[in-house]
Amino acid sequence: MSSTEDVPSLLLVEDDAVLGPLVAELLGIDYRIRLVANGRDGLHAGLTEVWDVMIIDRGLPGMDGVELIKALRSKGITVPILILTALGSTQDKVDGLDAGANDYMTKPFDAAELNARLRALTRSFTLPRTSLGIGDWELDTASRSIRSVYGPLVSLTAKETELLAALASEPERVFTRDELITSLFQPTDQPGVIDTYVHHLRRKISKAVVRTVHGVGYQIGDAHE
């Protein structure tokens, strides 16, 4: 998706019938834009596709901007988000940033400033994305997500991503729990934490995504059932 496009992808969630299309047109030269006009559509698009940046209006029908950002963050979506708020509402800005937005702009806003803020938020876009193949699945460590050829995009937490990436980096190798604890977790963490993460990954992706090698540890699987 976005990783193969020349321009970054931008999800714009704005219900204002004038402002939405205006911003989309304004930024359409530099970004591949999808405009959706309510929070629920924003959540669906945010969870099912990979985006380089999002602009989310504070006041939205269906699910407001702050709720939307919280929902995306709780699902492990780490994409930079700029929240649009009404002029002068400090509490809106605080709420937006606390919910997980990276930046905000107040309406009405200056187009050049919006562009500059988006450039700052997407600066890492030029860095190569890291993707690792796991059977039919492709793990994208930059966006912390995994997807199969046919299935939906599955969002992962930072630790889930690190664990999968570590296992997938050496597919032939069986890792002991102690090795995984040492490289990925705190020395004070118990080896059982690895089992917990493996359990989460199997539930989210497939039972076969990680193979248990009895008496030894874990190895990357092929992600088939």
Interacting residue ranges for Ca ion, rule: CB under 5 A: 15, 57, 59
Start-end of H helices in the chain = 19-27, 39-48, 65-74, 90-99, 111-121, 158-169, 177-184, 192-204
Q: Which is nearer to Ca ion, 38 or 176 (CB)?
A: 38
CA dihedral of 91, 71, 181, 184, whole degrees rounded to 10:
-70
Pick between residue 89 and residue 148 the one whose CB is nearest to Ca ion: 89
User: Residue 92 or 160: which CB sits closer to Ca ion?
Assistant: 92
Query: Which C-beta is closer to Ca ion: that of 15 or that of 179?
Result: 15
Region label for 34, one of left (φ > 0), alpha (ψ between -120 and 50) or beta (otherwise): beta
Cα–Cα distance between 179 and 160 in angstroms, integer? 16
Residue 121 C-beta: closest distance to Ca ion, Å: 21
Report the C-alpha gap between 37 and 57 in whole angstroms.
Answer: 9
Residue with the shortest CB distance to Ca ion: 59
Smallest distance, Ca ion to C-beta of residue 62, A: 11
Report which DSSP code applies to 34: E
User: Using an 8 Å Cβ cutoff, are 219 and 166 in contact?
Assistant: no
Q: Minimum CB separation from Ca ion for residue 19, in Å?
A: 8
Q: 57 vs 95, which CB is nearer to Ca ion? A: 57
Q: How far is the CB of 100 from Ca ion (least distance, A)?
A: 19
d(CA 94, CA 91): 5
- Tokens for 99? 């919910």
Nearer to Ca ion (CB atom), residue 57 or residue 160: 57
How many Cβ atoms sit within 10 Å of the Cβ of residue 93? 19
SS3 content of the chain, % helix, strand, coil (to 5): 40, 25, 35
State in angstroms the smallest separation of the CB of 64 from Ca ion: 9
CB of 39 to Ca ion, least distance (A): 10
